[in-house]
Amino acid sequence: MSSDLDEPVFEARLWRDNGWTAQVIKNEDDEGWAVAMFKAGESEPALVGPWTMGRDKKNPKPLDVNAFNTLVKTASEVLRRHEQQLHAQLNKALYVARDGAWTKVTLEIVPAEDDPYAWLSAFDAAGESLARVKVSAGFKLSQSAAESWVDNGFERPAGRD
């Protein structure tokens, strides 16, 4: 069952296709125009940028297929970078060398609204899980903390949650 929001729209100031909507809007800050790119299902735009004036220097240039495709590509890249940044903020990995073997120690923060927490995990060189303990979301994974955890037989770090 398809809704009206799934149907393609190709108008001068509104294009909707393939899960994206481009809407040309009046720029409230000055005399010009802006374009906002929305991903389907999102209430906030993924991208807002200046839009070109038309030949009459009063109205915006109409959207077209090339402009729309470029805007989709740019907005998709903005979202991808945001996801990569969030992933980097929530995940950290370090390596500890002991007895000629490498152990990968990871911290994965779970940003639950009510009670955020993190998983401290260890993996051998083949990627097999060695240990996993729940710690506070504020746990600081440093090289010394990782080495201490490995040296202590993967016991839950005391006083760090």
**What pTM was computed for the model?**
0.68
Instruction: Give the structural domain span for 11.
Output: 4-63
Q: Are 99 and 145 in the same domain? A: yes
Q: Does residue 74 sit within a domain?
A: no
Gap between the Cα atoms of 33 and 29, Å rounded = 9
Q: According to the model, what pLDDT value does residue 1 have?
A: 44
How many structural domains compose the chain? 2
Q: Are 95 and 147 in the same domain? A: yes
What does the pLDDT look like over 25-38, one tens digit per residue? 998 777 789 999 99
How is the beta sheet containing 101-110 ordered, strand by strand? 91-98, 101-110, 117-123, 129-136
What does the pLDDT look like over 107-141, one tens digit per residue? 999 988 899 999 999 999 999 999 999 999 999 99
Gap between the Cα atoms of 51 and 59, Å rounded = 10
Check pLDDT > 80 for residue 2.
Answer: no
